[in-house]
Chains A and B, each alone.
Chain A
Amino acid sequence: MQVLYLLIETIVKCGVVFACLMLSVAYLTWLERKVLGHIQIRFGPNRCGPFGLLQPFSDGIKAFFKEDLVPGRADKPVFVLAPMISIIAAISMFAVIPFGDRFTLPWTDYVVKLRIADIDIGLLYVFGVASLGEFGIVLGGWSSGNKYGLTGSLRAAAQMISYEVALGLSIVGVIILSQSLRLTEIVALQAGGFWNWNILYQPAAFVFFIICALAEINRTPFDMPESESELACGFNIEYSSMKFALFFMAEYAHMITVAAVAVTLFLGGWQAPLPQLDFIPGVFWFGAKLFVIIFFFIWQRGTFPRLRYDQIMKFGWKVLFELTLVNIFITALIVLLKG
């Protein structure tokens, strides 16, 4: 019976997390257009429903009914597979994120832990799946049989490999401090108020992580693979209809997951900022912190212009890589001296 309960619990959790993630993705597109609109002194979407709140659904229905074009020169199986790889990787990354503590089912004493999988290699799993997700973008551009697409995917491959190195190194400081790769343990160590959060002990690592994360999810100022002004949308130039929507959803889902990892590693996960505020459920704190990070992602997109490609590569290898290494050495030295 225990096995059956566990199975039902896992399936229900997967369903709920998937639904919440997809709903967040839908409203993230709305939020981004709204915030960018206000930054640029426009209104943003405001025709569908009050404040344009029905816009994501209108977009979804539109994408669904558009004609699905496959270019003649395309490599058809890979062309179809690429958006699927993107979205599957973006969603399955969320499996290890702890989004709350525990929750007792009402009228029973059955305790549900608010995370899907609590594995020993949680952090590495996130990076592994993220590196698989890159195949979606790279193959999507290549299989279109379009030179802009190919250029976009070449840039994507080079940029992601370069920034993955710095991204991996930037979190080693946190791993040294928490001595674990298990995300629940990293969160548990940051309990008891905001002065225990890793961001205060690893401020530089947090900045490096955010920069590398922006490059990893291809957002402005690092949106080289699809820089509209020079590559006419880059890797997804030939995609239309639902395939394009899948790429679009994957991009936003990836953004949420990266923000969730940042919250888990540096901002104390679902822990309350003050011990007195512990009575509010952890899910609320997790969502609030997630919102802050995501709002920052949107805000900086409206602020910074796109960088040049060679500048991005130079910055990744000649500045970020060294700085993250220095951060590891300093952290290790301090931990060693403290004993």
Chain B
Amino acid sequence: MAENLGVLFQWVIFLGMAFVSIVASLLVITRKNPIHSALFMVLALLCVAVLYVLLHSPFIAIIQVIVYAGAIVMLIIFVIMLLDLETELRSRLKIGYSKVIGGFVAVLFLFGIFYAVVAKSPTGQTGSYTTEKMAGNVKAVGEVLFTEYLLPFEIVAVLLVTAIIGAVILTKKRI
């Protein structure tokens, strides 16, 4: 009985979070005020984080919250706060060729996702990381990151440092 209750709970949480995240994502692209969009983005990201928790990956979930919902959206809001929103809010919707091309690409991408979900079984292959092994989630992620994927990890680190130095050089003419 407890087993069934657990499954039921998981389904209720999954459906609720999936619904809220879709609605929030729609609101991100339809709100005119960019701060409201950013807030709905936080909501969508939080819902996705809950989905990660349901998939027994709390580490990815919390990193999603810290990095995306916390730091990146905060930076976005930091920039938006400095903009003059009045003109943006008063302007009408303009249709330029860039928006047409962008919309076309977005629809293509949507079809791609649909095809990927429908055509193939979404269940992946069974790997060496079972649910029991994933209980010590942080350790499992760390082990794989620092043994099997060490080179990509280092390359990403170098890339990020390069990006930071590049940003500093671009904004400061004299150092």
Contacts and interface: CB of A to CB of B under 8 A. Distances in A.
Nearest to B42: A135
B70 interface: yes
Nearest to B63: A124
The binding surface of chain A is classed by DSSP as helix
A157 interface: yes
B69 A132 contact: yes
B70 A128 contact: yes
Given A75-B33, A78-B36, A157-B78, A132 B2 contact: no
29 contacts: A2-B2, A78-B35, A78-B39, A120-B59, A121-B62, A124-B59, A124-B62, A125-B62, A128-B65, A128-B70, A131-B66, A131-B70, A131-B74, A132-B42, A132-B65, A132-B70, A135-B42, A138-B77, A139-B77, A142-B77, A142-B81, A143-B35, A154-B78, A154-B82, A157-B81, A158-B78, A160-B74, A161-B71, A181-B138
Interface in B50-75: 58-59, 62-63, 65-66, 69-71, 74-75
A153 B39 CA distance: 16
B81 A121 contact: no
Given A120-B135, A121-B137, A131 B81 contact: no
B152 interface: no
A155 B69 CA distance: 19
Contact of A131 (B33, B71, B77): B71
B102 interface: no
A129 B136 CA distance: 21
A127 interface: yes
Interface of A: 2-3, 75, 77-78, 81, 119-121, 124-125, 127-129, 131-132, 134-135, 138-139, 142-143, 150, 153-154, 157-158, 160-161, 164, 181
B74 A154 contact: no
Given A121-B62, A164-B71, 5 more contacts: A2-B2, A121-B59, A131-B66, A138-B77, A142-B77
Interface string B34-46: 0110010010000
B136 A120 contact: yes
Nearest to B78: A157
B167 interface: no
B138 A139 contact: no
B144 interface: no
B118 interface: no
Interface of B: 2, 5, 33, 35-36, 39, 42, 58-59, 62-63, 65-66, 69-71, 74-75, 77-78, 81-82, 135-138
Contact of A134 (B62, B70, B136): B70
A158 B138 CA distance: 29
Contacts of A125: 62
Contact of B65 (A131, A134, A154, A181): A131
Nearest to A127: B66
Given A132-B69, A132-B70, A161-B74, A120 B42 contact: no
Contact of A75 (B35, B63, B71): B35
A129 B2 CA distance: 30
Contacts of B66: 124, 127-128, 131
Contacts of B75: 161
Nearest to B66: A128
Contacts of A77: 36
B123 to A, nearest CB: 25
A158 B5 CA distance: 45
Contact of A128 (B36, B62, B74, B82): B62
Contacts of B62: 121, 124-125, 128
Which 3 pairs, one residue from A and one from B, show the smallest C-beta to C-beta distance?
A131-B70, A128-B65, A124-B62
A160 B138 CA distance: 26
The residue among A128, A132, A154, A161 with the most chain B CB atoms within 10 A of its own CB is A128
Contacts of A138: 74, 77-78, 81
Contacts of B33: 75
A125 B75 CA distance: 20
